[in-house]
Structures are given as structure tokens and as C-alpha cells.
Chains A and B, each alone.
Chain A
Amino acid sequence: MDDKQLEERLNLLKSSYDRLPSSIDPGEILTKIENENNVPPIEKKIRGSKRQRITVWAVSVASVLVIGLLGTTYLTDSDNTTTSDENYSDEDIEEFKSRYKDERLRRQKILQMNDAEFTTLEFVQYADNIFSSQIAPGTLEGKNDDISIQEAYDLAIEGLNLPSEMIEVAKKRGKINGKESSYFVDDFVTKTENLIFYYEQILRDNEDALKVAKHEGRLSEHVLIANRYNLSKEIQSMIEVLPKEGLKLDVNLEGTEFRIIPDWALFTRDLFSILDENEARYLGMYELIPGHGIATLLEEQELSQLGYYLASIEFTLLNSSEGSAIHSRWENYYFELAEKIIFPSDIGEILNDDNKINIETQMAWESLVNIPGVSPLATMMKPIVASMKSSDWTYNETYKLLDIEQLRDYYLLALDNKLETNKLDWISILPDGVENSLETPYTMYGIHELYKKFNENFNPLVLHGIGPIDITLLYHYADGQDNHEMMWELMTSDFKNEYKKEAFLENPTFQNIIGDSAKNLYFNKEYLIPDNNNLKTYIGQEKGSQVSYDILLRLENDDIWRIQGEEDYLISKVEPVDDKLLQRVHDLYISFVRTYDQTVLKGATPVEIVGLYYYSAQLKDFETQYELYIKDDRHLQIPKDEYMNAEHQHIEDIRLEFKQMEFEKKLNGEGVVTLTKYPDEQENVLGFQLIQTDNGWRPPFMPTQ
């Protein structure tokens, strides 16, 4: 059972409640009130309500239209609710009647219908209803006093407008806002569906006669159209009218049944510049999923592609106004389709014999993970896909924990703008280690596809969800294609701030980042390092007999990996010795002092290491200072006792001692931090030597000599 069926059942139940017996006696209630010695209600000045309650018209059909039309013309103008209908004479009313009759007849002729046929159209019934209740009262509902006769007449005529006329009217009115657009789309789709319903009934009535229109055993709309003059008058009229109202004849996939579908590519083209772009998307989506629901989509599309459709529906829902009929209809499609793709009632549908998720489903799911921005689907699918990937797509516990309700929760949060733009959990997504061969064609084929896609307009969303190795390969591929523009796009924003684009395009700073001798690229989770609320990592490649992790990438705020090329500090930059630096150094000190674990300092910059060296001295913690020295046989080592007993430099506060520091990288993995002391010191500048180790930069003994 889907939502629509449930709602039908609820509606039927609702009408059954009318049978509830009633035995109310207001007199008895009033007596009870008096007997209980109730204090009569106190008179209280009540704030005037500007918006009057609208008496809802008893028009059961096309209630959507009522809301739509009243919404735009009435609700916004609630101060002018008093009407001046007394100004209309009986002759005026007769005049309205005659005009309405003419208008009605004109449209009836356009559709080539007789009066009885025309009256079966729901939107015509609706317009008639407005006319009879508002302009020529005497019906059960009577006249709604809040609306003038002229307004009601205009509403009735709007109600009569055919889809083609709606487009013409909209073109004359020009651009409309989101709310108005959503009413328009509801109205437009409703009328189109009324027509489809009518014509499909004709198709059913003529089923036997139409069976002759076959080509190679299949029904064919072309054969039908070619032979229309041998068929009934109503079929001939239908064939003439359909294209004028944006519809066409079609045959189902099996070739066994004619059907009517929207043909809107050209028909609705003008609407895209008039309607709000988010609401207008429904027009495109309606062509994709017409009134029959998702069944056609499921029949006609590959499972691996369905993720794309689902993501499009989600995007449209999250960006259009809630509450319209079309919005709630697509909400239903969204959950139905999601259930079909993610939680099918028979899990066997998505499993291979070896209990692994089949490849089509994998593709559909992976496409959901990479939906950029706020996405309930991506939020839900991330843990599922991550855990599935780590278990080689075996049906697992993480998946079993989830159901469609989880998606509903995320969806509602997203509607309320409470679902955050979820970043991928790279720490859990990325495997512990990867060795990616550069020699298999498959690797480069995938990159070639990525290259083509990204090259279209450098849309960063294309890179969302792409891991650091693939970004490195993409950069390398772009380099091979001399696509400097793309190489620039793949650099981090820090890098872009530091360098001029023109210069880079002329002569990219980093070319041939992957050496000729490299047969593989390596990712190692040990090199996935948290860095200022984000991550950075080094991709390794063979250099001689060693693997050198020397390609630095950073995960930027948009959750995309980009090439940094070099550490920030390698780009020579003067850093003041201020509170900010002290704070960073202090944080390093706290984590290092506990265990003297050298790896803690792996990501520290040379300036921070020098800062830490002097900060330890400031704290008179010479043991920590000692632990900072390089532990390597190739460099001079001094026994700890000796060091502790030696004389040490006295520092009151490093911020008062030094003004600034600047790092410069030298050859052979060495570097120097130049410390500028305050001017009252005799010697103003001091060089502090550092050596690069596996665990970052470290000073040798006597670094300032």
C-alpha cells in the first residue's frame, strides 16, 4: 500500500464518521453552565484580526485550484473584503451569464467536444461551480460575500483556461514568484491530467478499433495517426487536439497499449523564464514521471540510473514550496522510489548469490552518497555505503539497522533547514592503505571519465566524494593534457591566495608531480592528519627503492580534496610571535609532554617546533626541550644527564623575546627558521637550524650555531 492508497482509505473512513449519531442539546448545556454558577465570560478587548476566515466553498473537485486562485488574488488583499455587489443589476448578471456561455463555448470548440463531453472535464466543472455559486447564486452553497462578482467571474474564466491558454496568459503577465509559480504548476498539471484522463477513456472505449494500428506486431502511434481518417470522429479530433494542448499519443513499453503522455519540450519552453526556477523543475519532472507514478520509471530505467532520478526529485522537493499538491505527490514518489532502491521489500532483489549487493545497486547507492549540499539521501547512505565498502559490499549490520523512516526524519529536518550539509566521514571511508597501480588501463579510464566531466565547466560538485589518490591522478592527467586551467582549479584555496593565476596558467608551479619511475600511488591512513578542523594527507610514490609520501593534499571546507603541492610553511611566510602562535605551541606542548611520542609532532610546522623549543625553556622544562632534539645516529647525540646539568638559556616570555619567525627550506631536507629579536637586543636576527625527519622537523644539537 502506498501513501495515496492510505489517504484514499482515510478519506473513506472520514465520510463514514458522518454516521456518528448526534444528540446535542444546547439548552441543557446552558442550564448546566448556569447551574454550575459559572461566572459569565469576562468582556475582553480582543485584538482585531486582519485576516478574515474564508468560508470554504463546497467545491469538492479541484480544491487545489481554489487554494491557488484565492491564494494569489484574495489572501493577500484581505483588507478589501467588502464587496460592492449591490452595484450589479439583474441585467449585469445576465450579461455575465452570456459572456461566460460564450467563453465556455469557445473552449469547447477548441477541444472539438460537445457540451456533454466538455462538461465531464473536472476543471470545467470547477469553473461552472464558481460561476453558478458566485454569480448566479441560488445553489446550495450560496454566494460567498467576501468576493465580488467581477472577481468571481475572473476566477471562473481562469478556471476554464486550457493549458495552452494558461501559457499565453502567463507570458503576458511575465515573471511570477515561487508561491504563484507553485499554484500555476498545480493548476497546469491538474488540467493536463483532466485532459489525459478524458482522452485515455476514449482510447479505452475504442480499444478494439485501435488494434489495427500495428507495426511489426506492436501498436504504433504513427500507424494510428496515418490511418486516423478510417477511425471514429472522436479519435480524429483527439489526434488534432493533443499537440495543441501539449500532449501526444504514445505506446507502452510492451507495445500493447496506447497512452497519452505530456509532450512539453517545446510546449512549456516559455514557462521556464516566467516561473520560479525551482517550481518550474516540476514540469521537467512531470514529463519524467507522469500521473502513473514511478512504475513507468522503474520499468524503463536501469537501476543504476535510478539514483540520479531520486537525487533530482530530492533536490526539487527541498528547493520548492511545501504544501502544493505537486509537492506532496512528488514526496510520495520520492519515498516510494527510495524504498525501491534502498530498502526493497525483498532484499533478494539487490543481492547476488554470494550475499553481496549487486553492481547496479552499488552504482545507484554510490551516486546517492555523492549528492552535494544538504541531502537526506546522502546523509543516510554515507554510513551504509562506507560500511558496505569496507566489507566488500556484503549485506551487513549497518544496513539492517536502517529503514525508510530514517530517511523521512532526515527529509523533514532538511525541510526545516536543520539538516547540516554533511561532510563525508573520510576517516571511516578511506581504507587503511591503498596501492593504486598506474599501469592498469582501468585506473586511467576512470580518471579520463572524471576529467571529461570536470572539464565541462569545472563544477566542483563533480569532485565531491572523490578520494585523494584520484584527485592526484586527475591533476596528473590534466598536466598530461596541458590543461593548466584545470590544474589551477585543483589547487587549494591557500595556494590560490598565495599565487597569481596568470603566472600559474603560464607556467604551473607543480608539474610532473608523479615521477616517471612511479608505478603505483600509495595512500596510507597514517598520513591522514587532522589539520585546522580539516584533514590533510600525503600521497606516496616510488622514488628509487623507497616510497616517498610527498604529494600533499588538503580537504577543503567544501569537502573536496585539493592539491596543496607544498606545506603552507614551505611557502615562505613571516609569522609574528604572538598570542595565536603561543596558543598553538602550548597545545602542542600539552600533547607532546605526556608521552614524548614523536609522532605527535608529525604535522607541526617548523615555526611551531622552534616555538616549542623556546616555550619549553620558558617553562624551564628542559627535559621536553631535550626530547625535541633529533634522535638520529647521523647527528650528534648528547646524553640526557649531561644536557640537563648544562647551563640553559633563560627566557621570560617568548612573545617578549622574539618579534617574528620565518622558515626557509634548504636543500637535503634541511631548513632554517630566522628569528627576529626585539630591536633593543644587540644581535637582531638568529638562524635556527631544522632537519626533516619521518616525524616532522627537529632541531639538531646546538641549532643556533
Chain B
Amino acid sequence: MLEVELIERAQKGDKTAYTELIHIHHRTVEKFAFQCGVQVHDIPDVTQEVFVKLYRFLHQFQRDRFTTWLYKITLNTARDYYRKETKEKEKEQKLHVEVGLNYTTKSAEERVLVFEEDRHLHNAIQALDEKYRHPIIMFYFHELSYEQIAEVLNVPLSTIKIRLMRAKALLKSAIQVNGGVKHGR
């Protein structure tokens, strides 16, 4: 069945169609969330949250905008998640001293980004200001067009182009600082 039909049926309340949509798109959501800075162990929660929200808003969007909505919702969910998390952690920290969290995070990430060069680049992307980070992720890792990125981020097309160019320049200099090594595979 074509995706548009699935969306249409899901909009009418067909849960099977919605399950199918989840199957089609969950990898996109998971990867995008991770690339936007969600930690590996938080990804299942964030992904679940995205699809719950998506269902809630399902009736609101047009089929041809599905992709941009998916990215928009993922982006907002990831942001909200850590906002909530921060508050909870602040409470938590008053009660406990966190132990081992850094270790867990590091090793989980290292399992994904096996090569040092990948980690450097990933970290360089994470270190970018959000306004540069998001366009570069959507453009290079998700192959979204300038127009789609502009729609997801709600900014003019020309701004996206400028941000992408800047982001590349920033990344290049960041990598060069880290020694621009050849990829080890």
C-alpha cells in the first residue's frame, strides 16, 4: 500500500495503518533524534513520544506535508524531553549523586560511532549552534530539500542556504582543529 493511502487511512482512525506508518518511519525518528543530541538510552522514550504526538496531530496535516511534520514533531519532542529531564534531574540531584551515567552514555555512543573520525564529526555537529546543526543534519543525513528544511524550521529559504554554508565552514574548521584525519576504514 502506498504511504499516502496509509496516512489517509490512519487519519480516519485505522490503527493498523498507523502501525504500518510507525514501522516505515521509526528509524528516521530514532536517527534524527540521536543526531539532534538525544542520548542513546533516551531514544526509545523520545521515539514513543513522537509517535503519540504525531497521532494526536494526525488529522491536522496534509498528506504531502507528512515528512516535514514528522521532523518538526521529532525536533520539538527532543527539545521538550530534555527541558523536562533537566527539571527532573535537578530534583534528583538534590537526593542522589549520579554515578556511572557518563560511562553508560559514552559506551552506548561508542557502539554506534565506532570510528574515532565519526565521533569527532558527530561531536563537532553537536557543538554547533542549533540553528546550524539542524539544517546540516536534515540536509546531509536525511536528504531533505532546502524547501523542506525551511518548512520544518519555519525560516526563510535563503536563511537555510546561508546557515548550511556557514555550518559547513564551521564544521570544516572544527575538524581541521581536530587534525582532519582520514577515515579509518
**Cβ-defined partner of A41 (8 Å) among B11, B43, B165, B168:** B11
**Cβ-defined partner of B22 (8 Å) among A20, A21, A24:** A24
A-to-B contact residues, CB < 8 Å:
1, 3, 6-14, 16-17, 19-24, 26-30, 32-33, 36, 38, 40-44, 46-47, 49, 51-53, 404-405, 408-409, 412-413, 415-416, 418
CB<8 Å pairs between A and B, sample of 14: A3-B168, A10-B136, A12-B115, A17-B31, A20-B30, A20-B40, A22-B27, A27-B19, A29-B55, A40-B13, A41-B59, A42-B59, A49-B64, A404-B169
Q: Closest CB-CB distance, B136 to chain A, in whole Å?
A: 8
- B112 touching A28, Cβ below 8 Å: no
**Cβ-defined partner of A26 (8 Å) among B19, B118, B141, B183:** B19
**Cβ-defined partner of B183 (8 Å) among A9, A40, A41, A46:** A9
Within 8 A of A (CB), among B1-33: 2-4, 8, 10-13, 15, 18-19, 22-23, 26-27, 30-31
Given the complex of chains A and B, what is the CA–CA distance between A404 and B169 in angstroms?
9
Give the interface centre of A10, A22, A24, A38 by most chain B CB atoms within 10 Å: A24
- A22 touching B111, Cβ below 8 Å: no
**Cβ-defined partner of A16 (8 Å) among B12, B63, B112:** B112
Question: 0/1 per residue, B112-136, Cβ < 8 Å to A?
Answer: 1111011001100000000000001
- B4 touching A16, Cβ below 8 Å: no
Across the interface, name the chain A residue whose C-beta is closest to B67: A53
Known: A9-B183, A16-B115, A46-B11. A38 touches B55 (CB 8 A): yes
Q: Closest CB-CB distance, A500 to chain B, in whole Å?
A: 48
Number of A-B contacts (CB under 8 A): 140
Q: Cβ of A13: which chain B residues have Cβ within 8 Å of it? A: 113, 118, 121-122, 141
Q: Cβ of A36: which chain B residues have Cβ within 8 Å of it? A: 52
- B52 touching A17, Cβ below 8 Å: no
- B12 touching A9, Cβ below 8 Å: no
Q: Cβ of B165: which chain A residues have Cβ within 8 Å of it? A: 405, 408, 412
Known: A22-B30, A404-B169. A413 touches B158 (CB 8 A): yes
Given contacts A6-B171, A16-B115, 14 further A-B pairs with CB under 8 A are A12-B183, A16-B112, A16-B113, A16-B114, A17-B34, A17-B112, A21-B40, A26-B51, A29-B22, A29-B48, A43-B11, A44-B59, A46-B63, A51-B64
Question: 0/1 per residue, B155-176, Cβ < 8 Å to A?
Answer: 0011001100110110110011
- A408 touching B11, Cβ below 8 Å: no
Within 8 A of A (CB), among B71-121: 111-115, 117-118, 121
Q: Does B68 sit within 8 A of A, measured CB to CB?
A: no
Q: Closest CB-CB distance, B57 to chain A, in whole Å?
A: 8
- B169 touching A1, Cβ below 8 Å: no
- A6 touching B11, Cβ below 8 Å: no
- A10 touching B140, Cβ below 8 Å: yes
Given the complex of chains A and B, what is the CA–CA distance between A8 and B183 in angstroms?
9
Q: Closest CB-CB distance, B118 to chain A, in whole Å?
A: 5
Across the interface, name the chain A residue whose C-beta is closest to B61: A46
Q: Cβ of B2: which chain A residues have Cβ within 8 Å of it? A: 52-53
User: What band does the interface of chain B fall in when counting residues whose beta carbon is under 8 Å from A?
Assistant: 35 or more
- B55 touching A33, Cβ below 8 Å: yes
Q: Cβ of A408: which chain B residues have Cβ within 8 Å of it? A: 162, 165-166, 169
Nearest 7 pairs of A and B residues by beta carbon: A41-B59, A41-B58, A42-B59, A24-B26, A40-B13, A26-B19, A26-B22
Q: Closest CB-CB distance, B104 to chain A, in whole Å?
A: 13
Given the complex of chains A and B, what is the CA–CA distance between A30 and B52 in angstroms?
8
- A416 touching B158, Cβ below 8 Å: yes
Known: A1-B180, A24-B22, A413-B158. A6 touches B168 (CB 8 A): yes
Q: Cβ of B58: which chain A residues have Cβ within 8 Å of it? A: 41
Across the interface, name the chain B residue whose C-beta is closest to A411: B165
- A26 touching B23, Cβ below 8 Å: yes
Given the complex of chains A and B, what is the CA–CA distance between A409 and B159 in angstroms?
10
- A1 touching B175, Cβ below 8 Å: yes
- A19 touching B55, Cβ below 8 Å: no
- B141 touching A19, Cβ below 8 Å: no
- A9 touching B55, Cβ below 8 Å: no
Q: Cβ of B148: which chain A residues have Cβ within 8 Å of it? A: none
Given the complex of chains A and B, what is the CA–CA distance between A30 and B22 in angstroms?
10
Q: Cβ of B162: which chain A residues have Cβ within 8 Å of it? A: 408-409, 412
Q: Closest CB-CB distance, A99 to chain B, in whole Å?
A: 31
**Cβ-defined partner of B8 (8 Å) among A46, A412, A413:** A46
- A46 touching B55, Cβ below 8 Å: no
Given the complex of chains A and B, what is the CA–CA distance between A26 and B158 in angstroms?
38
Q: Closest CB-CB distance, A159 to chain B, in whole Å?
A: 22
Q: Closest CB-CB distance, A573 to chain B, in whole Å?
A: 47
Q: Closest CB-CB distance, B133 to chain A, in whole Å?
A: 13
Given the complex of chains A and B, what is the CA–CA distance between A5 and B114 in angstroms?
20
Known: A12-B118, A409-B162. A17 touches B169 (CB 8 A): no
Q: Cβ of B172: which chain A residues have Cβ within 8 Å of it? A: 1, 3, 6
Q: Cβ of B141: which chain A residues have Cβ within 8 Å of it? A: 10, 13-14, 17
- A53 touching B34, Cβ below 8 Å: no
Q: Cβ of A27: which chain B residues have Cβ within 8 Å of it? A: 19
- B52 touching A10, Cβ below 8 Å: no
Known: A33-B52, A41-B11, A409-B162. A10 touches B121 (CB 8 A): yes
Q: Cβ of A12: which chain B residues have Cβ within 8 Å of it? A: 115, 117-118, 183, 185
- A24 touching B117, Cβ below 8 Å: no
Known: A16-B114, A53-B3. A29 touches B62 (CB 8 A): no
Across the interface, name the chain B residue whose C-beta is closest to A145: B2
Given the complex of chains A and B, what is the CA–CA distance between A21 and B33 in angstroms?
12
Q: Cβ of B185: which chain A residues have Cβ within 8 Å of it? A: 12
Given the complex of chains A and B, what is the CA–CA distance between A12 and B185 in angstroms?
10
Q: Cβ of A44: which chain B residues have Cβ within 8 Å of it? A: 11, 59
- A29 touching B169, Cβ below 8 Å: no
Q: Cβ of A33: which chain B residues have Cβ within 8 Å of it? A: 52, 55-56
Given the complex of chains A and B, what is the CA–CA distance between A11 and B121 in angstroms?
11
Given the complex of chains A and B, what is the CA–CA distance between A23 and B19 in angstroms?
14
Given the complex of chains A and B, what is the CA–CA distance between A53 and B18 in angstroms?
19
- A24 touching B30, Cβ below 8 Å: yes
- A17 touching B22, Cβ below 8 Å: no
Q: Cβ of A412: which chain B residues have Cβ within 8 Å of it? A: 158, 161-162, 165
**Cβ-defined partner of A43 (8 Å) among B31, B52, B59, B183:** B59
Q: Cβ of B140: which chain A residues have Cβ within 8 Å of it? A: 7, 10-11, 14
- B52 touching A32, Cβ below 8 Å: yes
Given the complex of chains A and B, what is the CA–CA distance between A195 and B103 in angstroms?
51
Given the complex of chains A and B, what is the CA–CA distance between A586 and B10 in angstroms?
72
Given the complex of chains A and B, what is the CA–CA distance between A172 and B147 in angstroms?
36
Known: A29-B48, A53-B3. A415 touches B161 (CB 8 A): yes
Give the interface centre of A13, A32, A405, A408 by most chain B CB atoms within 10 Å: A13
- A41 touching B10, Cβ below 8 Å: yes
Given the complex of chains A and B, what is the CA–CA distance between A6 and B118 in angstroms?
12
Q: Closest CB-CB distance, A583 to chain B, in whole Å?
A: 39
- A19 touching B112, Cβ below 8 Å: yes
Across the interface, name the chain B residue whose C-beta is closest to A7: B140
Given the complex of chains A and B, what is the CA–CA distance between A49 and B4 in angstroms?
9
Give the interface centre of A7, A19, A36, A412 by most chain B CB atoms within 10 Å: A412
- B63 touching A49, Cβ below 8 Å: yes
Q: Cβ of B31: which chain A residues have Cβ within 8 Å of it? A: 17, 20
Q: Closest CB-CB distance, A568 to chain B, in whole Å?
A: 42
